[in-house]
Chain A
């Protein structure tokens, strides 16, 4: 399996523009997570889906952020309008329920480095 795929790997945009980040989870995984990582705040969970349904979006910072998962193999994170403080690395991760193990192991994508000027 190719692992979690994210695109683009780098995005530079100007303040006020719309930004769309994309993620393809590992085939067969039914959980998908969006994270943001900055030097100041470390890794933060933004939102996660189970079977394409958003379960917890309490980490989404503002209404400018939205995420969708139209099917099991694709998700987007959109920022509209973007601001300089949104500059960060955005990671997507996916997992499947571990059953008797009692947990699900999350596999992270390579991330999208977003710079908003």
Chain B
């Protein structure tokens, strides 16, 4: 059973609108949670990394939140742009140095 569950699987949003992606995890112990953006045909690129003590982190129009008590995270995209069309992957690490547990990703399509 995957220890990192993401929802929704996919979503379509209009350019300029906001959206929020969800991530629930059961990975334990917990070291950090990451959100990656993966454009089609390319490798994942890190957006945010949060440790246990952090509950929010922003990277431009991307804002990630973390509730380590409920083991939930969200990624909020503000004022979406066409270039935001990609797969967004939630990744949880129990080990600060190595192994990552990947979610299946949420496919976001931004339409004009």
Contact = CB atoms under 8 A, between A and B. Distances in A.
Contacts of A18: none
Interface in A58-117: 91, 93, 97, 101-111
A93 B46 contact: no
A12 interface: no
Contacts of A103: 31-32, 49, 51, 93, 96-97
Interface residues of B, number: 21
A48 to B, nearest CB: 5
A108 B97 contact: no
Given A102-B51, A103-B49, A103-B51, A111 B98 contact: no
B99 A56 contact: yes
Interface of A: 4, 31, 33, 42-45, 48, 50, 55-56, 91, 93, 97, 101-111
A107 B44 CA distance: 8
Interface in B70-112: 89, 93, 96-100, 102-105
Contact of A108 (B41, B44, B99): B44
25 contacts: A31-B97, A33-B98, A42-B89, A42-B104, A42-B105, A44-B102, A45-B99, A45-B100, A48-B98, A48-B99, A91-B44, A101-B51, A102-B32, A102-B51, A102-B96, A103-B31, A103-B51, A103-B93, A103-B96, A103-B97, A104-B96, A104-B97, A105-B49, A108-B44, A110-B43
